[in-house]
């Protein structure tokens, strides 16, 4: 089963099972901070309604926000210089899911 990082809070880490020490009680899942975490889905939502190439200047004016593009989306360029609207990375990570590599 996949979880967002928030959903893993409070879940026991499978690495702590079978340990008799009191420290094991405090061994909670740390999600993507763990070496065993596997991302199930990480992706920023894109809206490519404007696919203009960046020319010489990097100061391409932001067009009027099209209907249906959320207010929090940013106007950015990809590595090829194609401009598009994109979801901020922090927001994409919040809704992205993953799982413990030990138990899937």
Phi-psi region of 75 (alpha: psi -120 to 50; beta: other; left: phi over 0): beta
Q: How many Å apart are CA 51 and CA 39, to the nearest integer?
A: 29
Q: How many Å apart are CA 49 and CA 83, to the nearest integer?
A: 9
- pLDDT tens track, the chain, 104 positions: 889 988 988 788 887 766 655 555 568 888 988 899 998 876 777 776 554 544 445 566 677 888 888 888 888 877 777 778 888 888 888 888 999 998 86
Shared domain check, 81 and 63: yes
Exposed/middle/buried for residue 89 (C-beta within 10 Å: 0-12, 13-18, 19+):
exposed
Shared domain check, 65 and 50: yes
Give tens-digit pLDDT for 66-92.
Answer: 888 888 888 887 777 777 888 888 888
Shared domain check, 68 and 81: yes
Shared domain check, 52 and 38: no
């Amino acid at each position: 089963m996949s979880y967002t990082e928030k959903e893993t809070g409070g879940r026991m880490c499978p690495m702590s099972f079978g340990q008799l020490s009191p420290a094991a009680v405090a061994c909670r899942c740390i999600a993507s901070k763990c070496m065993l975490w596997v991302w199930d889905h990480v992706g920023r939502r894109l809206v490519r309604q404007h696919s203009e190439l960046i020319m010489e200047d990097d100061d391409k004016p932001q067009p009027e926000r099209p209907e249906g593009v959320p207010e929090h989306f940013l106007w950015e360029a990809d590595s090829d210089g194609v401009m598009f609207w994109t979801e901020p990375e922090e927001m994409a990570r919040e809704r992205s899911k993953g799982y413990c590599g030990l138990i899937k």
